[in-house]
Every structure is written in structure tokens, then in C-alpha cells.
Amino acid sequence: MGFSFSLDEKERFDPTQFQDCIIQGLSETGTDLEAVAKFLDASGAKLDYRRYAETLFDILVAGGMLAPGGTLADDMMRTDVCVFAAQEDLETMQAFAQVFNKLIRRYKYLEKGFEDEVKKLLLFLKGFSESERNKLAMLTGVLLANGTLNASILNSLYNENLVKEGVSAAFAVKLFKSWINEKDINAVASSLRRVSMDNRLMELFPANKQSVEHFTKYFTEAGLKELSEYVRNQQTIGARKELQKELQEQMSRGDPFKDIILYVKEEMKKNNIPEPVVIGLIWSSVMSTVEWNKKEELVAEQAIKHLKQYSPLLAAFTTQGQSELTLLLKIQEYCYDNIHFMKAFQKIVVLFYKAEVLSEEPILKWYKDAHVAKGKSVFLEQMKKFVEWLKNAEEESESEAEEAPDVFELSCLL
């Protein structure tokens, strides 16, 4: 393809001349984006893309060089072969994304310049029309999905003025719709996590509206239920981490159990954390407060002594069968992952049974079909006699059953 413009040294250092060359070339390609991509590929050998990256991207997005604030300078040449003059639909934006993708793959050094350009464009959003914003949002979503852009560019959306006027949230709706359409919510979450953006999405709203309730209502009504659920889950994970941290601090201070129980119950209610989750956190916290003996024959005795002390705390959060089952699985996993505890599993379960942390039904269910694969043959073998005793105890009278645990514990724990 031949282009009817000439280049000399002077043009290489003048953005206006650079702009004229690009716009003249685009006037010849027209809106055929394949031809546009070829033209940009060829021009990189003759024009100084490195120096004029900002001018190049301004033209491809807005049709000409942008003045501060996002307006096009009146006296400048402009072109309609750009994102802002294109049709407002996802298919067209996907085609434009390919143009940028090819250009940056061909000239790798443009990567940083393009990222800076998008950050700048996001800060200029108020200077663009609603339609222009929508196109830019769709394009950005596609470029985030295909890896041309890094999710750190979203930082620009946390600009106070954009947030206050609701521009950021509206833009984010279009952006996330096109991003999730290209990939899925898990891929989006992964990209956000890599740049520590996964816990910042609520900052798209002013401080007085930064709640999970407001976020989920806004984005669900906009058709982004997946994003709403993701943010709700992130919030829950954050609350659980905080709870565990505080629990460990309270235990290391030796706070009374009644105070710890009260605190945990308040947190459960406030953050909607279910009891089975809480018992897992308490178990982890209880087990992390001790320096365990490395000798297998001594660690069981140490564990029984330690867990006996914490039984009242654990018992306060095993009021549901599912919580008990969760605790059994946590004990199984812990004893398997910490090799010195392999022989202590059954002793811990018997202790918790006697201390009314665990009851008969969940133990039998765990034994029958609710256990996990980790060390199951060893643990099932350990539990065999106790499970038989539990089954027999069901058939005995209550008074006989009350006496039996002591007899059993003696024979098991000696």
C-alpha cells in the first residue's frame, strides 16, 4: 500500500507534523481496520513512535491531539478513523482492540506509553461525551481481558472528582461487562489480585456509600451479579482474616473465654460469618498458640492438655452438626499435615466427645462417609473401636452410657 506523504528529519521532532502524517495516512485507509493496522505497522519504521506515543494514541482514540481535560484542540487536524467516532458496540470495540494489540506486539516499547495514555484518558472522562466514555470502557475491558493492559490502570478511576460525580462507577459497569464477556469472573479476579486491586473496588463510590450493600445493589441492578458476589466474598474473606488475627491476639493475651466468645459472636453477626467457618478459624488459632513438641510420644499428651483447656471455647461454636463435622475434618487435616500428630487423632476426638465439643452423630457420619482422603486409612483404623463403642452405646440405657466414656477413655488414652 502506498501513502502519499513525505518525511524529513524536522517532522520527527514535531508532534504537529507527526499528527498530520498519521491523520493523512488514516484518511487513505478509511475505517477498514485491517488496513489501519497495516498502515500503523509500516509507519513505525519511518515515524518516531517512541517519542510521539501520546500523540499517536490520542489520534487513534479521540481523532486528534487532546488538550488537558480531554478536549480536542480546535485548530488541529482530526480524523474520524478513531475509537470515539466509531459505532458504540462491543464488536466494533473488539476490532479496535485488535489494532492496538497488533501495534503494541509489533512495537513492544509502546506498552508503557499506552498504559500511561489509558490512565490519562480515564482521568479525562468528564471531558468526554457519554457515548465516548462507553466506547472507551468497552475497549478497555477487552484490552484488560487480552492482556494488552494491566489492571493497575484502574487506579485512575479512584480520582476523587470522578468518584464524587458517579462517573467512575458508571464507567466501571461498561468496562467490567466487556471484560467478563471476554473472559470470566475468575480471570478478572485473578488480574485484580495480581495488582492488589481486589479489595479496592468499593472505592468506586464516595466514602458514605462504600458498603457491600450499596456496591452489590448498584452492580446487580446494572447486570453484573457475578461482580457483586465476588466483592461480597472478598469482603467476607477480609472479615475472616481480621477475625482470626484478633482471635490469636486475644488468646496470646489470655483473655477470658467469655469475652472471646462474646467478641466472636458479634463478628459473626456483623459480617454474616457462619458457625462452621468460625469453628475452623478457632481451631487454627488454638493450634497456633503453642510450640509443639517434636517427639511423637510427647506431643499427644501435650495436645490433650492444651485442648482440654480450650474445650469450653470450642464447644461454644459447635452447636450445629455441620460445625462439628467441619471441626472433625480440620482435626483430620491437621494431624495428617503435621506428622507428629498422626497417632493423636483419636485421642483428640475422644477428648472432644467427653468435653461435649463433639457429639455422636457427626463422629459416626465422619467415619462412614464424610472424611477426606488425607490419612484416612490410619485414622479410620484408630477410630474403629471408639466408633463400635458409640454404636453399642446407642443401644444401652442412658445411665450405662454415661459411665462408659470413662471406661473407654481409660483404655484408649493409656
150 lies in the same domain as 24 = yes
33 lies in the same domain as 69 = yes
Low-confidence stretches of the chain (pLDDT < 70) are: 1-13, 74-75, 395-414
Res 393: pLDDT:
77
Res 337: pLDDT:
94
Res 13: pLDDT:
53
Residue 403 included in any domain: no
47 lies in the same domain as 181 = yes
Q: Which of 194, 210, 226 is the last residue of a domain?
A: 210
241 lies in the same domain as 336 = no
Res 385: pLDDT:
94
Check: CB of residue 98 under 8 Å from CB of residue 77: no
134 lies in the same domain as 245 = no
Res 404: pLDDT:
46
Q: What are phi and psi of 316, to 5 degrees?
A: -70, -15
Res 234: pLDDT:
86
194 lies in the same domain as 241 = no
Res 398: pLDDT:
52
Res 247: pLDDT:
94
Considering Cα of 32, then 34, then 35, then 39, what sign does the dihedral take?
positive
First and final CA of the chain: distance in angstroms? 91
189 lies in the same domain as 235 = no
Residue 240 included in any domain: yes
Q: Which of 210, 239, 262 is the last residue of a domain?
A: 210
Distance CA 190, CA 169 (A): 21
Residue 9 included in any domain: no
Residue 59 included in any domain: yes
Packing angle between helix 167-182 and helix 225-253, nearest 10 degrees? 100
* Structural domains in the chain (count): 3
Residue for grid cell 499427644: 300
Distance CA 61, CA 57 (A): 6
Residue 258 included in any domain: yes
Res 400: pLDDT:
52
59 lies in the same domain as 145 = yes
Residue 408 included in any domain: no
CB atoms near residue 379 (< 10 Å):
23
Residue 109 included in any domain: yes
20 lies in the same domain as 141 = yes
221 lies in the same domain as 323 = no
250 lies in the same domain as 197 = no
CA-to-CA dists, residue 170 to 143, 147, 197, 394, angstroms: 18, 23, 18, 62
Check: CB of residue 319 under 8 Å from CB of residue 275: yes
193 lies in the same domain as 223 = no
Long-range contacts from 159-167, C-beta under 8 angstroms, 24+ separation: 159/122, 159/123, 161/126, 162/122, 162/123, 162/125, 162/126, 163/203, 163/204, 163/205, 163/206, 164/206, 165/126, 167/125, 167/126, 167/133
Q: Which domain holds residue 138?
A: 15-210
Res 81: pLDDT:
95
What's the CATH number where 330 sits? 1.25.40.180
Q: What CA dihedral angle connects 400, 406, 412 and 413, to 10 degrees?
A: 170
Q: Which of 172, 187, 210 is the last residue of a domain?
A: 210
Residue 183 included in any domain: yes
Distance CA 318, CA 231 (A): 28
List, for residues 75-95, the tens digit of each pLDDT value.
677 899 999 999 999 999 999
